[in-house]
Amino acid sequence: MPKQYHIIYRKKDCIGAGACEFAAPELWHYDKEKSIATLKDPLAKKTDEQEELIIDEANLARHLEGAQVCPVSIIEIYDLETGEKIHPKE
């Protein structure tokens, strides 16, 4: 079984910079009217507070690119099996 990762996007803290969509437009949609980003994957679980998504290792590199440009570091990525925080590193 390929490794999997858990993305937790702390949506309520989004400051609307839009950098995630700029870096990874196939993964993120930035809503200019609401000034908030959202995951494009239809499997993402969404509430007003946050969004969550499980991804395979094959998609990790692109998700990391999207997460790393977020100026407020609210796109968190964890190893699903071990719970280790992959991004952001403290």
CB 58 within 8 A of CB 1: no
- Decide if residue 15 touches ligand SF4 (CB under 6 A): yes
Binding status of residue 54 toward ligand SF4 by CB under 6 A: no
The nearest distance, CB 15 to ligand SF4, in angstroms, is 5
Q: Contact 44/52 with Cβ under 8 angstroms?
A: yes
Burial class (CB in 10 A: 0-12, 13-18, 19+), 14: buried
Shortest approach of ligand SF4 to residue 86 CB, angstroms?
17
User: Residue 63 Cβ, how far from ligand SF4 at the closest point, in Å?
Assistant: 12
